[in-house]
Chains A and B, each alone.
Chain A
């Protein structure tokens, strides 16, 4: 199954990550502005690290993360691939799923995407998250997997 091509996530996931990057940079922008106005150092100095941070968090990283992520759903298992620097490639057989979540934050709701979360009984990888799915896809995947989850019998 490692040879199967991965399904790409929804492109608007990149936009969501960009906005999240923007929100993360905002406090730094404010801090840098205050520093510039205080005239402790030359006005352009605080701007340099903030611009670098913004380019990484808004420009580069969302795209890289989008391209590194992907999933492959076969008849009895789900494969989730992620990671820019540290790769991780997890396979969860449906027969081991304890319960399922479809989650949506406010930003994700705005763009109509959702996260599918698979919970297993294992201590490691107790929950495997697959973000950036179209909300409709996520719910239909959940229904598909739920067919396999018989009865939790711990």
Chain B
């Protein structure tokens, strides 16, 4: 496929065991483009700013090409050195990676610790036909062994070879394979007998996007303005300061007061409508980019999920690695019966600990997926119990005190400034009162809503206000149980019950102490009766 070095083989047709190899030379281009990409926007801004002042431009023009060439060289050279100094080996018992230009690091990952081999493909590598291979060990994040980048066929072969070696290393441990846009033949051969569990057609994505209303775009715009403020022809802060100092706002005010009531209402409506429209549009775009052609299938190996428009991902999660389920929803989407299902598992899903398996679905669609993973969704027959009311009372009290304190400080400062009674002072009082009653209402609602239950195989918890979520964990897959109590909890006899779970958090906050002890005893009995090594695989 490509040329080979005398001692280090490059992408050959076969992968020999115990042979040192290099990643694809094209990865130099991919890395270089990435770093140049991050430098090009500021560079463009600088050039643009320079171009506005013509005398500077004429001085700059002859140097333009050499400067750009230098920028590219500065970016490409380290990328090339990195490529030259990086080598990996698929050994008989481990995968090794040596890298570093001056200080070398050598990492070895034994096969029985490799949990999944995932291939990921971002936009630029995808254009160059490259993939990033990750050997995940469950350590999470930066400690994983990563090869960036190899060619698509090479990635596919690496996955096959390593998968074979991993299965040889530990017959019982199935591996979690995640991959990205595979060449067609491989897929069709292996995937016979797959069942489609869940898919999201474009109409569903559109609904999902509309519910994912997001105003992040405004924050991004503000951030961009701050970042490149120095390049703008005027100073934003000064402009706003001038706006007030010159009483230009009075002009705007008189302009508005010159309008009739209908025009004013229309103006406000227009403002609100445009903000809502932008929010909805950004939600829809984000959803389409992330979840395009979302498909969840049950394969012989486990659950297989494919999604993505620009960055396509293809993840396989073995059934026995699912530690717990999370069924989440939102305040509004709950009214329409929409929920999202995700798994807590040992492997990571592009940075987040939970794997989305059905991000936007009706409960009737979620139930079969849950039972496929070996969980049963809570029914009405469950004996749900509430946390201690004292916990919510204390929390509400503390939050109210904080609000009161801040309000008091603001009030004193404002009163000292005003030097006489002005209506503004009453407004501060009113805001504090409203905030405190909101806090109280929230805590009361939470106490009414939050609950937990224990069934023969599972522990269940339902929490939350704006984004309520139900967590379901398998009792035998928990590792330890802790009862934690702060000073207030000891005074009012409530505690937190925290379970040690692989790959995620699972805690019941504010339980009555007796309740927590009963729960703990029951859960411990089912944990202790099953040895970890004999957990269902």
A contact set with B: CB distance below 8 Å: 1-2, 76-77, 83, 85-96, 98, 120-126, 128, 148, 150-154
User: Which residue of the partner chain B has the closest CB to A98?
Assistant: B532
Q: Are A90 and B528 in contact (CB under 8 A)?
A: no
Closest to B501 in A: A122
Q: Which residues in B have their C-beta under 8 angstroms from that of A126?
A: 500
Whether a CB of chain A sits under 8 angstroms from the CB of B503 is yes
At the interface, yes or no: B479 with Cβ under 8 Å from chain A? yes
Chain B 507-521 near chain A by CB (<8 Å), digits 1 or 0: 100000000010011
Hey, which chain A residues are within 8 Å of B478, CB to CB? 96, 122
Q: Is B480 in contact with A128, judged by CB distance below 8 angstroms?
A: yes
- Measured CA separation A70–B520 after assembly (Å): 18
> Shortest CB–CB separation between residue B489 and chain A, in angstroms?
8
With contacts A2-B521, A86-B484, A96-B480 taken as known, whether A122 is within 8 angstroms of B528 at the C-beta atoms is no
A85 CB contacts on chain B under 8 angstroms:
486-487
Determine how close the nearest CB of chain A comes to the CB of B440; give it in whole angstroms: 26
Which of B482, B487, B506, B527 has the largest count of A CB atoms less than 10 A from its CB? B482
Contact with A along B461-496 (1 / 0, CB 8 A): 000000000000000001111111111011000010
* One of A2, A86, A125, A152 near B480 (C-beta < 8 A): A125
**A123 and B533: CB pair below 8 A?**
no
Residues of A within 8 A of B479 (CB): 92, 96, 120-122, 125
Let me know if B483 and A88 touch, CB within 8 A. Answer: yes
Give the number of chain B interface residues (Cβ < 8 Å): 39
CA distance A77 to B479 in the complex (A): 11
Chain B residues within an 8 Å CB radius of A1: 521, 524
8 residue pairs from A and B, CB less than 8 Å apart = A86-B485, A89-B482, A91-B524, A120-B480, A121-B502, A123-B501, A124-B501, A125-B482
Q: Let me know if B530 and A120 touch, CB within 8 A.
A: no
The reply to whether A125 and B485 contact each other, CB–CB distance below 8 Å, is no
Chain B neighbourhood of A150, CB < 8 A: 531-533
What 5 additional pairs, Cβ within 8 angstroms, besides A91-B524, A128-B480, A154-B113?
A2-B521, A76-B528, A93-B524, A122-B501, A124-B501
Residue pairs across A and B with CB atoms within 8 Å: the count is: 109
The residue in chain A whose Cβ has the minimal distance to the Cβ of B535 is A153
- A94 to B528 CA separation, bound complex (whole angstroms): 7
Q: Are B484 and A125 in contact (CB under 8 A)?
A: no
Task: Assess the B490–A87 pair: CB atoms within 8 A.
Answer: yes
A98 to chain B, nearest CB (A): 8
B161-178 Cβ-contact flags toward A at 8 Å (1 or 0): 000000000001100000
Contact A95:B532 (CB < 8 A) given known A90-B480, A122-B479, A122-B501: yes
- Chain B residues contacting A77 (CB-CB under 8 Å) are 524, 528
B498 within 8 A of A: yes
CB nearest neighbor in B for A3? B517
Closest B residue by C-beta to A120: B479
Q: Give CA–CA (A53, B70) in the complex, Å.
A: 61
Cross-chain contact of A87 among B485, B499, B502, B532 (Cβ < 8 A)? B485
A-chain residues with CB within 8 Å of residue B333 when the two chains form the complex = none
A122–B172 Cα distance when bound, in Å, is 21
> Chain A residues with Cβ under 8 A from B498's Cβ?
124-125
Question: Are the CB atoms of A90 and B481 closer together than 8 Å?
Answer: yes
A151 and B482 contacting across the interface, CB-CB below 8 Å: no
Which residues of B have CB within 8 Å of A90?
A: 480-483
CA distance A35 to B490 in the complex (A): 41
Q: Are B521 and A123 in contact (CB under 8 A)?
A: no
Contact of A151 among B495, B501, B533 (CB under 8 A): B533
User: Once bound together, how far apart are the Cα atoms of A73 and B445, in whole Å?
Assistant: 41
- Would B520 and A91 count as touching, CB distance under 8 A? yes
The minimal Cβ–Cβ distance linking B358 to chain A, given in whole angstroms, is 24
